[in-house]
Structure 1
Amino acid sequence: MNDAHRPDADGPQLRTLLLTDLCDSTTLVERIGDGPAAELFREHDRLVLALQQRWRGRLIDRSDGLLLLFERPIDGLGFALDYARGLREIGAARKFELKARAGLHVGEVLTWRNSDEAVKVGAKPVEVEGLAKPMAGRLMATARPGQILLSAVAEPLAHRAARELGERGQQLLWKSHGRWRFKGVPEPQEIYEVGEPGIAPLRAPPNGPKAWRDIPLWRRPAALAAEVAVLAMIGTGAWFATRPQPAIAFNQRDWVVVGDLRNLTGQNVLDDSLEQAFRISLEQSRYVNVLSDLKARDTLQRMQRQPDTTLDRAIASEIALRDGARAVILPTVAEVGGRVRVSAEVIDPHTQTTVYAESADGHGKESTLASIDSVTAGLREKLGEAMKSIERDSEPLPKVATKNLDALRAYALGLKAYGERRQAEALRYFDQAIALDPEFALAYLGALRVHVGDADNRRAQPYLEKAVALRSHLAPRDALYLDAWSSEYGPQPALRAPAQWKLLAGLYPDYYAGHYNYAWAAFAANRFGETLSFAKAATAPQNPLRSSAIELMGRAQLAQGDAKAALASFEQGEKVGRYGPNRRRAAALATLRRFDEAQALLAKLPTDSSTDGLTNNLERIAVAVDRGRWGEAEKAAQRAERDAVAGTPVLANQFALIRLMVDALNGRPPRTQVLATLCRKSAEQAGDEADPLRNEQAFVALSAAYLAQREGDAAVARQLLPVLEPLVKRIGDPLLAQLLTVVQAGQLRLDGKPEEAIRLLRPLLRGDELFQVHSALRAAYAAAGQDEDALAEARWLAQHRGRAYIETGGSQVLQTLNVADTTLALREQARSLARLGRDAEAQRQDEAFRRAWPQSGSSPPVPPMPLARASAPSSPVSKQ
């Protein structure tokens, strides 16, 4: 008979439920009689109908009480407040009290429509079921007459929207009645009361058989002895028994999305400042990971929404689902009864329901930072973090940020501009924050990042020094981040900085700056296995700069000889980062000998005198050399040398040396005096300890001496080694020390002591050696007549084309020689094989060499590399 349609196809829906009960209605009917009672209830029904229309409510059930559904908690609250006032007026007109108790809750419900036949025989038109319904019923039954009780889910939602009620919303009184236990509900629930002065009771509800206050142990003397005995039996398991269990499956290192702060105070200075303060406070946790605002905005763009879209409940939940975050946190600040309230809700992104809420009140906007600390600590505990951890990893916001809200707002705007790559604007905001609070350490750190990102290390230095002086004003994670940057600028950075980045990555495994920067340090030190491991960790979806980590993975793969995987990584990085192909992809294509594609790509890249425009010439020159197109290589090298004069001093020296390398490969060895002058100039600039690029200058100086040695000229190194040796020791870069050993070994070889050169070079073969270590060792083996070993080194050189292109030592100043040596190694294999009497193999290698570098027309022959002061031994394949 009471057959019903199936529940709505959409399944459970999030709704606000309001249950009311007209107090003592039966006694009232008996007292005033049936006729007056009927008139009273008709007036009551007119009131309900009017309020339904005003507050957009849907009446589901009615008798002595009401069950209504609303889209929003503020609508349900508006109905309850007007209903309480209306009953008061109806009762006053008849000279008796008329009150109702009310319970307001937000949760999921199922609704369906009964059949017409069932409605005709008395069934309700619409049915509502779900766990939210009995919860609202428990609240209503617990309330005193005239009292409106709200659940912990409904209160912050209604509270943050109270301004929509107009002036009355500002006068409402809000009160927490603590944690209560309800029959049939396993976890204690915090309940709140809201009402108008003079109407609401604002007293704790009475205990009853279905609802009672969750009183702490120390307030239950009768049960204390028994409970102490139970606790003693539980022993070490007590913590697990009493630990608050999260309503969502939140685990250590899970991610949260912080939505945009809703500011209901009308004070605009709080908009950006408090949202940033909330992030800073929450990010101190090692238990909870906060998705960066930069990453959230990036995901917004992938959702094809504008970057300034408000991160409300729905949008933030979608971002959380896309980026693998477990929860959404929505912060609010409002003025309530002359006090400033900071509150936050924890949202389950799958259902968009509120599972937790925390709030804290204070006087004036200056109290908001302390309130934020209190709220974030409460949220962390509810998400499962141990109190000891919260106390250990939390510092007050005024200490780790600033107590000046204007400075905090400027800092927040600076971060936003930095995330949108508006570097100059970001720097202005950071400087403004510093002007407002000269002890704002995070602002100095922000300005430091801007200058480092622009490769302007000299301007970065003062900000670094000030940040170091204010290190105690930083949270532990930010202090470690500062330590790592400080080591980059201090003495022997190549030795000290990697350890600091690795420490940061180990202590904060989901703070990707540590992983990426250690991966880069490992790459710069030729430790490609470690590079791959740490760069891969930084490619997590939550990393806003994951495209850079993906590209770094590609560089490591190329260095390890997997050019196809590298090419795929470069393409993926471009897609994720939404940027076009760059010179690293060209290097991978050239490694695979897809030269036409590489050159077509390089032709599209900038050719101006900016740092990027100049460094694009590295691959232009190297690819032309790799193809044996000497005219193209020479023109590219000459143009790069000319344009680099407008760049930094180190770029000017690098391209001057690379042009000399091309000349040498092209059969025109540079004069001793030219190389000596360049070597001395670079060494002098490397001697400036304040120059953060002194390492690159020292690489140029040693490379110039090495180029002279390759042409059989020992004079340059002989003149300048006494200057270069102590310089390299002071700088402390392991790869620079390797290059010094290569030059020292070259002097021994040219002095007719190849065996000593071999003994000097062999210990460098640890897997992280420079490409040119193998080239120098091959020459030493050949000079010593050890042809089998020379052949092995030549084969190594020919097989490691990817490493030749991508090795970054000295900002790739040796790239042109490296790439040339992968082809010259074919000729040197032919020579070694001929000396060993393996003529057929020698002939095949000679033909491979000629195919790689066809000697025709305007292309002069590549001269043989001298093996010692004397001429190299002749061989059939040396005739070209």
Structure 2
Amino acid sequence: MPAQLHVLRAWRRAAAVVALVALLGLAAWVLLRPEPAIAFAERDWVVLADVDNASGEAVFDDSLQRALLMSLEQSRYVNVLSSSKVSESRDLLRVPTGRVLDRELASDVAAREGARMVLAPSIRQSAGHYLVSVDLLDPASRAVVRRYRAKADASTDVMAAVDDVVGQLRAGLGESVASVQQSVPLPQASTANLQALKSFALAEHALGRRRFSESAKLYEAAIDADPDFAMAHIGLAKLLVRLEQRAEAQPHLARALSVNQRLPHRERLYLKAWSNELSPDSWPLDDWRVLADVYPDSFAGLSNTSWYLLTDNRFDDAEPYARAAAVPQDPMRSYPIAHLGWIQLGTNRYDEALRSFELSEQLTGRPVSDPRADVLIAMRRYKEAQDLLAQLSKPRDELQAMMNVRVRVLLAADQDDCTGMGEALASEPTPTESADFRVHAELMRAVVDTACQQGSAETLAGIATQLRPLLAAGNHPSLPDRALRLLSLVYLAQRQGDHALADRLLAEYGPLLLKQKNPMIGKWRTVVQAMQKVGQGAPA
């Protein structure tokens, strides 16, 4: 959460809130969006298969195909999926270049792209006649919904039969298309296994609804169906990151990297960004922005670019990316919509922020969420914020529990209510699953103690002892978050007047902090170094 979000009226509230910002403004819940599908026009999309020519006369391959294309271009009911889009889908399906677009492959393409129907033309000889037909297929069931036929007595009459079929097709197309249920486009992810892709799509949808256990099982099902499905491995990795299990995410990243060279360029850029996400000096803004700029329809690139610009307080730069990602085609659009809420809050557009957070809640099926309380606190509407926090549902994990504590502490801090801050700290159980979370909870308690002038040197020393083994793991992907917690501890020591502890920590971990690329770490380091000079009596 950006530090400018709240106007503070007293130094002790400032100390509490600024420290909370450093602790809890981390990208712990950054989630990547699935790749987008084609945008539907007012008409439905169809896939035109290659001509199944069993007549023995190759001339009919092109002539029948051209006649159908010309007719469909004039249809009021459908658009034909372009050849470039078909080629892209074939690449993702890992289909050999020489394979014709038969009805089976056309159905796979249609299922992947969300097209409503497949048109499968054919011509063959039967009992001395030419039989021209077009089958309309439901891509989900592969069933023939409607069949249009015409006969020709001789090869010279074939084009007249084609015109007859085309006329029947155009006359009945609206009714036929309406009889097929609209399909949802599948994500753009390379796998030859459609079942794996469908499981992946369901996992992404569950993730967008914050159903994390369900999402994990669906990612695992996708991997079971295709063990080399790189995007499914990365999907599971990003879910583990959301749950602050970054080390557990690394084997899935490694598996995806093992097939990197055979992935499309788009997925290689996506994988590169994720490699940076899980590095010990992570700051992947440039990687996500490259993905967004090279592939403007990449929701992953757009959403994560907006997030990292937002966390660096670059609101004007972040907003266009967030808006581009917050579109109905994306099943996880609740996240960039929430990014918009933070941007609007950070720029004092409170009513807009409330609407954005409310929409994000609706999309994820939550009655309320803690960010909306942040807006109400900034507006000094404390009673409404209190009522909203009373409606928060039971946290699904320890991270959400800490976020709930964060906003309760913030509400009390903004009213100079030390008793309320203490009650907020006790409102959720102490984390037990993660050493990082335990340190995090201890730091929040130290923030409150410092703000209420009850700080303890022994408490801060104890937190330093807990942090040391975590910081010693120099290649751990959580190192940037741990560096931020270290700087928060230094800051609290300085606020309590324990400059000896602060100086020792800065001297011990100075090289580690210098290696970090995250600009928030750089800014915090500058702040605590300035305070160090003030504590030593030197000009800041």
TM-score bracket, shorter-length normalisation: 0.5 to 0.7
2:191 — aligned with what?
401
1: CA distance, partners of 2:80 / 2:271: 30
Deviation at 1:485, TM superposition (A): 0.8
Are 2:125 and 1:278 equivalent residues in the alignment? no
Cross-structure match for 1:225: none
Q: Provide the rounded CA distance (Å) in 1 between the counterparts of 2:67 and 2:381.
A: 67
AA at the equivalent of 1:687: A
Deviation of 1:416 after TM superposition, in Å, equals 2.4
- What is the distance in 1 between the residues matched to 2:141 and 2:56? 15
Q: 1:468 to 1:668 in 2, by over 3 A?
A: same
What's the offset of the Cα at 1:462? Answer: 0.2
Within-5 A mapping of 1:514-663: 514-606=301-393, 610-640=398-428, 643-663=429-449
Instruction: Please give the alpha-carbon distance, in whole angstroms, between the structure 2 residues aligned to 1:275 and 1:454.
Output: 39
Q: Contact (CA 8 Å) 2:370, 2:389: kept in 1 or not? A: yes
Deviation at residue 449 of structure 1 after TM alignment: 4.0
Please tell me the residue identity of whatever aligns with 2:191: A
For residues 246 and 401 of structure 1, do their structure 2 counterparts lie closer, same or farther at Cα, with a shift above 3 Å needed?
farther
The 1:463–1:719 alpha-carbon spacing in structure 2 relative to 1, beyond 3 Å, is: same
Tell me which stretches of 4 or more aligned residues in structure 1 moved more than 6 Å: 153-156, 172-176, 244-256, 273-276, 332-336
What residue is the counterpart of 2:481 in the other structure?
Answer: 696
- The answer to whether the 8 A contact 2:322-2:340 is kept is yes
Question: Does 1 or 2 have the higher relative contact order (CA < 8 Å, sep 6+)?
Answer: 2
- Asked if 1:664 corresponds to 2:486, the answer is no
Kept after mapping to 1: 8 A contact 2:344/2:350: yes
Quote the offset at 1:254 in angstroms: 12
Conserved 8 A contact 1:276-1:412: no
SS across alignment from 1:644: coil
Q: 2:293 aligns with which of 496, 502, 506?
A: 506
* 1:749–1:584 CA distance, 2 compared to 1 (3 A): same
| Identical aligned residues as a percent | 28
* Deviation at residue 250 of structure 1 after TM alignment: 8.5
**Structure 1 residues 252 and 603 mapped into 2: Cα distance closer, same or farther (>3 Å)?**
farther
- Residue 274 to residue 458, structure 1, CA distance change in 2 (3 Å): farther
Equivalent pair of 2:48/2:106 in contact (CA under 8 Å): no
**Displacement, 1:678?**
1.4
Q: Is the 8 A contact 1:410 1:429 kept in 2?
A: no
Structure 2 SS opposite 1:526: coil
Q: Any conservation in 2 of the 1:702–1:724 contact (CA below 8 Å)? A: no
Structure 1 gap ranges (5+): 1-152, 160-171, 182-186, 192-213, 215-243, 259-272, 283-289, 294-310, 314-327, 337-344, 356-393, 758-880
Larger Rg: 1
Calculate the aligned-residue CA RMSD, in Å: 4.3
Q: Is 1:476 equivalent to 2:265 in the alignment? A: yes
Q: Please report how far the alpha carbon of residue 681 of structure 1 lies from its aligned counterpart in structure 2 after TM superposition.
A: 2.8
Partner Cα separation in structure 1 for residue 385 and residue 356 of structure 2 = 16
Distance verdict in 2 for CA 1:274–1:685, change over 3 Å: farther
C-alpha distance after superposition, 1:760-797 (max 9, x if no partner): xxxxxxxxxxxxxxxxxxxxxxxxxxxxxxxxxxxxxx
Q: Is residue 540 of structure 2 the alignment partner of residue 709 of structure 1?
A: no
Question: Does the CA-based 8 Å contact 1:401-1:474 persist in structure 2?
Answer: no
Instruction: Give, in whole Å, the separation in 2 of the partners of 1:454 and 1:433.
Output: 20
Q: Partners of 1:275 and 1:420 in 2: how far apart?
A: 28
Give the letter aligned to residue 629 of structure 1. D
Shift of 1:708: 2.0
On the 8 A contact 2:341/2:354 being kept in 1, the answer is: yes
Shift of residue 575, structure 1, vs aligned partner:
3.3
- Say whether the 8 Å CA contact 1:676–1:716 is kept in structure 2: yes
Offset at residue 727 of structure 1 (A): 1.4
Question: Which has more strand, going by share of residues?
Answer: 1
What is the DSSP-based 3-state SS (H/G/I as helix, E as strand, rest coil) of the residue aligned with 2:344? helix
Q: How many residues align?
A: 418
Structure 1 residue 190: deviation in Å? Answer: 4.8
> Are residue 492 (structure 1) and residue 492 (structure 2) matched?
no
Residues 512 and 538 of structure 1 are in contact (CA less than 8 Å); yes or no, is this contact kept in structure 2? Answer: yes
**Superposed displacement of residue 702, structure 1:** 1.5
Please, what TM-score do these two structures have when normalized by structure 1? 0.42
Letter in 1 for 2:337: I
Residues of 2 paired with 1:750 and 1:635: CA distance? Answer: 32
When structure 1 is superposed on structure 2, of 583-592 and 510-519 the one drifting more is: 510-519
Instruction: Go from structure 1 to structure 2 and tell me whether the alpha carbon gap of 1:251 and 1:562 turns closer, same or farther (over 3 Å shift).
Output: farther
Q: Distance in 2 between matches of 1:329 and 1:745?
A: 70
Return the TM-score normalized by structure 2. 0.66
Amino acid at match of 2:470: Q
3-state SS in 2 of match to 1:627: coil
Is residue 741 of structure 1 aligned with residue 529 of structure 2? Answer: no
- Structure 2: which 5+ runs fail to align? 1-45, 90-103, 119-135, 145-165, 178-187
Q: How does 1:320-359 map to 2 (within 5 A)?
A: 331=139, 352=174
Q: Distance in 2 between matches of 1:508 and 1:581?
A: 34
State the partner residue of 2:511: 726
Deviation at 1:329, TM superposition (A): 10
Decide which of 173, 176, 189 is 2:67's aligned counterpart: 189
- Structure 1 CA distance, aligned partners of 2:221 and 2:390? 42
Separation of aligned partners in 1, 2:47 and 2:463:
74
Distance 1:690 1:607, change over 3 A: farther
**Aligned to 2:317, what secondary structure does the other structure show?**
helix
Structure 1 434/539 Cα, relative in aligned 2: closer, same or farther at 3 Å? closer
- Asked if structure 1 preserves the Cα contact closer than 8 Å seen for 2:291 and 2:301, the reply is yes
Q: CA deviation at 1:686?
A: 2.7
Cα distance, 1:482 vs structure 2: 1.2
